[in-house]
Amino acid sequence: MPIRPVAFVLRAVETREGAGVKVRRAFGDPLVAHETDPFLLLDDFGSRYPHEYLAGFPWHPHRGFETVTYVIKGEVHHEDSTGIRGVLNSGDVQWMTAGSGIFHSEMPKPARRVVGDRVEEDPEHRGIQLWINLPPRLKMVRPHYRNLRGGNVPSGTTDDGIEVRVIAGRVSGLPGTGTIEGPVANVSIEAQDVSYLELLMPPESRFEYPVREGYTAIAYVLEGEV
């Protein structure tokens, strides 16, 4: 399979969302929408200082696309107009299909743990949220969720020592495990063929992933450089 060249590189730009929360927007500008389609936006949110994120993202609407929220560190308390509420913890993923429309809130909180008779908080918080456009015939589907606990996201390690978590799609050829398939299958009621992977790569390692012709591929670097 030929190696696809990198079309362009974008640097995340700091902006404000919700109730003034500082986010780093990797992409979301209409000027590059044709290059990232069907991916609409990618925000990297969080801080080591709670006052920069506790105001959160109060009630707001979504319609016609999907949001994928991955909590890297901390908690996100969520609630929506269908009556669903819950807490996402470190490593958890929420894949929401907004469809015909939904109101919800997302409130970042520090991670908490019980130590003896007291509760300790880790003030550092980080997460990323990806928006994926829905095709016209699915823009009015009933809103629904897929909540994935971090421990239920399948993972494996390549011969190069790269740790791979598969949220959606599949990865083949991993030693000992063969093929891993993500728990979010047939996204958007079998409409979207989307892969979502997290990679923890040692220095000088290399990862190859097959992407079909005509498909959009995006890599977002959380730490280090590629």
Block residue for tokens 């993972």: 155
CA distance 202 to 206: 9
Is residue 189's pLDDT more than 70? no
- With a CB cutoff of 8 Å and minimum separation 6, the contacts of 164 are 155, 156, 157, 158, 171, 174, 180, 197, 198, 199, 207
pLDDT of residue 112: 84
pLDDT of residue 187: 44
Model confidence over 190-219: pLDDT tens digits?
Answer: 445 889 999 999 999 999 999 988 899 999
**Rounded mean pLDDT, 104-110:** 96
Which amino acid is present at 154? Answer: P
Task: Provide the pLDDT confidence category of residue 39 given band limits of 50, 70 and 90.
Answer: very high
pLDDT of residue 174: 80
Model confidence over 70-82: pLDDT tens digits?
Answer: 999 999 999 999 9
Arithmetic mean of pLDDT over the chain: 90
**Rounded mean pLDDT, 34-56:** 94
Name the superfamily (CATH) of residues 13-150: Jelly Rolls (2.60.120.10)
**Rounded mean pLDDT, 126-134:** 95
Share of the chain above pLDDT 70, in %: 95
CA distance 6 to 193: 21
Task: Provide the pLDDT confidence category of residue 30 given band limits of 50, 70 and 90.
Answer: confident
CA distance 126 to 71: 6
> 103, 10 in Cβ contact below 8 A?
no
Model confidence over 5-19: pLDDT tens digits?
Answer: 898 899 999 999 999
Is residue 177's pLDDT more than 80? no
pLDDT of residue 185: 57
More confident residue, 185 or 54: 54
Beta strands in the chain (DSSP E): 13-17, 21-27, 39-47, 57-62, 65-73, 75-80, 85-88, 93-97, 102-109, 111-115, 118-122, 125-133, 144-148, 155-157, 163-168, 170-174, 178-181, 196-200
**Rounded mean pLDDT, 29-49:** 92
Domain residue extents for the chain: 13-150, 153-210
Task: Provide the pLDDT confidence category of residue 114 given band limits of 50, 70 and 90.
Answer: confident
